[in-house]
A and B are shown apart, each in its own frame.
Chain A
Amino acid sequence: MSILVVAEHDNAAIKGATLNTIAAAQKIGGDITVLVAGQNCSGAAQAAAKIAGVSKVLAADNAAYAHQLAENISQLVAELGKGYQYVLAPATTNGKNFMPRVAALLDVAQISEIIDVVSADTFKRPIYAGNVIATVQSSDPIKVITVRATGFDPVAAEGGNAAVEAVGSAHDAGISSFVKEELAKSDRPELTAARVVVSGGRGMQNGDNFKLLYALADKLGAAVGASRAAVDAGYAPNDMQVGQTGKIVAPELYIAVGISGAIQHLAGMKDSKVIVAINKDPDAPIFQVADYGLVADLFEAVPELEKAV
């Protein structure tokens, strides 16, 4: 079996979700090639070569791939993908953007956000906001798959010694261009990779009160998330949203503060190892999934917790 994994990276380094995707590739079983497409991406390509279990790295270094524009990347991945039986990418917003385009160019289905590999052609994936798990079987000659990172434990970032091969192909469709990016700057860990996540909901009452969560998060070395209700109300930016349509997280410890626990939100965090809920409403659905529930006024409990940890 030959598997092409498209790496998520920032040209300098590999993003964590790539390691979970390679873990899914290992579960399928076969020879794993990692594609790093970007501009001035030799740092990321070298890092990919060190990942355990990778047998080859393809580096496509070209201005056309600088911002991962789907129109350009998809042509490259489809061209290379023809030589493989599987093409995998993390189900990040970037993977979700270009992978269906790759599948359509190859005239095959895409299997989205797998959480388990049952056999070489059969996979598990959540549907209906995670309320149902479907087991699906693909008959396509090339299987195009996005991988939900929380379904697979990451492989080691070190220990491999793969050869890096340059790919000359330059695909510039010339129909889209990058204008700007407004990326959240934070010294806290990345939400999807953090060991501890502290999230706030509508109960926070306003954006200013999120300061309480930031203070607690900094004590715990945690990332800060938010429910859709809090994001829609403008308390927190979209990149902090945890839930079915936001980020899917599965940290060691998830602390939900002032979050009622809508299905949409639970879909994004219920695979966390330990869940703590702090809410003044004893009937809030979040308590049904929490390992430790504290019925309390968050404005008293959170500062107290911050002092106690």
Chain B
Amino acid sequence: MKILVAVKRVVDYNVKVRPKSDGTGVDLNNVKMAINPFCEIAVEEAVRLKEKGVATEIVVVSVGDKGSQEQIRTALALGADRGILVETDAELQPLAIAKLLKAVVEKEQPGLVILGKQSIDGDNNQTGQMLAALTGYAQGTFASEVLVDGDKLNVTREVDGGLQTLTLKLPAIITTDLRLNEPRYASLPNIMKAKKKPLDTLTPADLGVDPAPRVKTLKVEPPAERQAGIKVKTVDELVEKLKNEAKVI
């Protein structure tokens, strides 16, 4: 079975981002970029399925500017076999990305597509579900366990009340949650090998998709700051404050 994994280039999760002072966007100058953590978990899951003999080939795809090649190479170093970059400098929103990925799915005909549940920049949590709608495939979102069983897949999902298990008909779409696996580190030999793995570049025009955004960002601003309060010295003082000052107990 072929697995398609989608990865996104985002600001590294250790970077504290700030809105620009004029409110037109987030300051991304000279900021460290990385593969979105949930996408990294998606790559790891595909590699594990290949190691178990379930997957035969892992194709990693990213939609974005030329810089996204770097994240595709990271995924190749982790064990993916080849890469596809859908290159565009346009502002990309989930529906457009889902349409581009649908076109790649039609070309590649994977048995399973794995994506991160959300990217840590836009926090949209949409692309996997939209891709599932456009392809007509079943979806297993927020996955914490994935078991392929012939032409079916059992997925355990992290839901508000606990865990839910579904059976999906393949091909299907999976989106990863935090506890699906712990991604490995790429070894130096694998990083070197990844540089020689094939990486094709396509454009939205090649795929017949218009990626124009539907939602306009009017401004961005920092959230309301919360002021630090006071330090209390004892539990008794805390209880007194909660009762008489804050009046919450």
Do A100 and B228 have beta carbons less than 8 Å apart?
no
Do B219 and A181 have beta carbons less than 8 Å apart?
no
> Does B202 make an interface contact (CB < 8 A)?
no
Question: What residues of chain A lie closer than 8 Å to B16, measured between beta carbons?
Answer: 131, 263
Do B218 and A175 have beta carbons less than 8 Å apart?
no
Do B229 and A293 have beta carbons less than 8 Å apart?
yes
The binding surface of chain A is classed by DSSP as: mixed
Q: For the complex, what is the distance from the CA of A58 to the CA of B148, rounded to whole Å?
A: 38
B35 to chain A, nearest CB (A): 16
Question: What residues of chain A lie closer than 8 Å to B218, measured between beta carbons?
Answer: 122, 135-137
> Does B238 make an interface contact (CB < 8 A)?
yes
Do A128 and B165 have beta carbons less than 8 Å apart?
no
Q: For the complex, what is the distance from the CA of A36 to the CA of B50, rounded to whole Å?
A: 42
Query: Which B residues, 112 to 139, have Cβ-Cβ distances below 8 Å to chain A?
Result: 117-118, 120-134, 136-139
Q: For the complex, what is the distance from the CA of A205 to the CA of B205, rounded to whole Å?
A: 54
The contact string, 1 if C-beta is below 8 Å from chain B, for chain A 222-250, is: 00000010011000011100001101000
Closest to B122 in A: A127
> Does A120 make an interface contact (CB < 8 A)?
no
Do A138 and B215 have beta carbons less than 8 Å apart?
yes
Q: Which of A49-57, A109-117, A156-164 is near enough to bind chain B? A: A109-117
Question: What residues of chain A lie closer than 8 Å to B127, measured between beta carbons?
Answer: 100
Question: What residues of chain A lie closer than 8 Å to B214, measured between beta carbons?
Answer: 108-109, 138-140
Q: For the complex, what is the distance from the CA of A252 to the CA of B125, rounded to whole Å?
A: 28
> Does A94 make an interface contact (CB < 8 A)?
yes
Do A133 and B220 have beta carbons less than 8 Å apart?
yes
**What is the count of residue pairs linking A and B with beta-carbon distances less than 8 angstroms?**
257
Interface residues on chain A, size class? 35 or more
Q: A101-B132, A274-B246, A301-B235 are in contact. Are A289 and B138 (CB under 8 A)?
A: no
Do A132 and B161 have beta carbons less than 8 Å apart?
no
B188 to chain A, nearest CB (A): 28
Instruction: Choose from A104, A181, A275, A296 the contact partner of B130 (Cβ within 8 Å).
Output: A104
Question: What residues of chain A lie closer than 8 Å to B242, measured between beta carbons?
Answer: 253, 274, 276, 292
Between A and B, 14 residue pairs with Cβ closer than 8 Å are A70-B139, A93-B160, A97-B129, A100-B130, A102-B133, A103-B126, A122-B218, A131-B16, A140-B214, A176-B139, A238-B177, A239-B160, A276-B238, A289-B228
Which residues on B are within 8 Å of A, measured CB to CB? Answer: 11, 16-19, 26, 93-95, 98, 117-118, 120-134, 136-139, 141-142, 144, 154, 157-169, 172, 177-179, 213-223, 226, 228-236, 238-239, 241-242, 246, 248-249
Top-9 shortest CB links A-B: A291-B229, A104-B133, A100-B129, A100-B126, A104-B130, A109-B214, A175-B138, A183-B161, A179-B165
Additional A-B contacts beyond A93-B159, A112-B123, A175-B138 (7; CB < 8 A): A104-B130, A109-B95, A181-B164, A237-B162, A238-B162, A292-B231, A294-B233
